Amino acid sequence: MNKRNKVKHLNREKGHRDALINNMITSLFKYERIESTQAKLKVVRSHAEKIITRAKRNLATDIAPAVALHNKREVLKRVKDRNIVTKLFEDIAVRYAAVNGGYTRILKKINRASDNSEVGILELTNRKDRSSLIQEIKDKREAISDAKKEKAAAPAPAKKEKAPKKEAAPKAKAAKKPAAPKKAVKKAAPKKKK
C-alpha cells in the first residue's frame, strides 16, 4: 500500500532515481531542452522549477551574502556542474526575473515505436536557439584558451636564492666497543624416518 506517498518511483531505487533526476536537470539547464518519457519529464519539471525559483532569490539587491551562498549550495546538491550553476544564476534566473512560475513546458510527441511509451520534450519557455548556445560555448572555450596562453607567455617570477647551507662541525667518532665473541650454535641432526 502506498497511501499518501507522493514520490514517483519511476521503477528505480532511490539512489538511481536521484541520479537520473539530477542528470536530467543538468542537461535541461545546459541545452535548455531535453527529450524523454512523459513520466520522467513530469518529475524533472517540478524539481527544475524549484531550482529556478531558488536561483531567482539571488537577484534581490538586499540579500545577505550568506543567504546567496546558501542558495548556490542548495542548487549544487542537484546540479553537480559548476559551469551550469553559474549559467543558471547569471543567465536563466535573469530571464525569468519578472515571471512567477511557468518556467518550463512539456510538449507531447508521438508514442515511441519500440515500446509505445508516451514521449515528450521538456524545454524552458524563454530558451535560446541552438546556434546561439553553441556560439556561447565556443566563446567561453576561446576565452579560457586565451587566458592560458597569456599565462604561459608571461615571464615566470624569479626564484628566490637559497641561503648557503651551513656545514656541520665534524663529529668526533666514539670509540667502538669490542664486539662480543659469537657463540657457536650446534645444529640439530636431521630426524631419521622410520
Backbone angles phi, psi at 43, to 5 degrees: -70, -45
Residues sharing a CB contact under 8 Å with residue 78, sequence separation 6 or more, in sequence order = 21, 22, 25, 47, 51
pLDDT at 186 over 80: no
Instruction: Residue 27: give its domain's CATH number.
Output: 3.90.1030.10
Q: Is the pTM of this model over 0.85?
A: no
Question: Does residue 25 belong to any structural domain of this protein?
Answer: yes
Q: How far apart are CA 153 and CA 176, in angstroms?
A: 61
Three-state secondary-structure class, residue 108 = strand
Q: What is the CA 89 to chain-centroid distance, rounded?
A: 16
Backbone angles phi, psi at 9, to 5 degrees: -80, -25
Question: Does residue 91 belong to any structural domain of this protein?
Answer: yes
Question: Does residue 93 belong to any structural domain of this protein?
Answer: yes
Question: Does residue 163 belong to any structural domain of this protein?
Answer: no
Instruction: Give the chain's domain count.
Output: 1
Specify burial of residue 38 (Cβ count, 10 A radius: 0-12, 13-18, 19+).
Answer: middle
Question: Does residue 174 belong to any structural domain of this protein?
Answer: no
pLDDT value of position 165: 75
Q: Domain of residue 132: give its range.
A: 14-139
Question: Does residue 7 belong to any structural domain of this protein?
Answer: no
pLDDT at 177 over 90: no
Mean pLDDT over 120-147 rounds to 90
Q: Higher-confidence residue: 181 or 52?
A: 52
Three-state secondary-structure class, residue 89 = helix
Residue 34, number of CB atoms within 10 A of its CB? 21
Question: Does residue 29 belong to any structural domain of this protein?
Answer: yes
Question: Does residue 193 belong to any structural domain of this protein?
Answer: no
Q: How far apart are CA 155 and CA 90, in angstroms?
A: 34
Min mean pLDDT across 86-95, 115-124, 176-185 is at 176-185
Q: How far apart are CA 159 and CA 165, in angstroms?
A: 17
Listed residue (87, 61, 85) closest to 71, CA to CA: 85
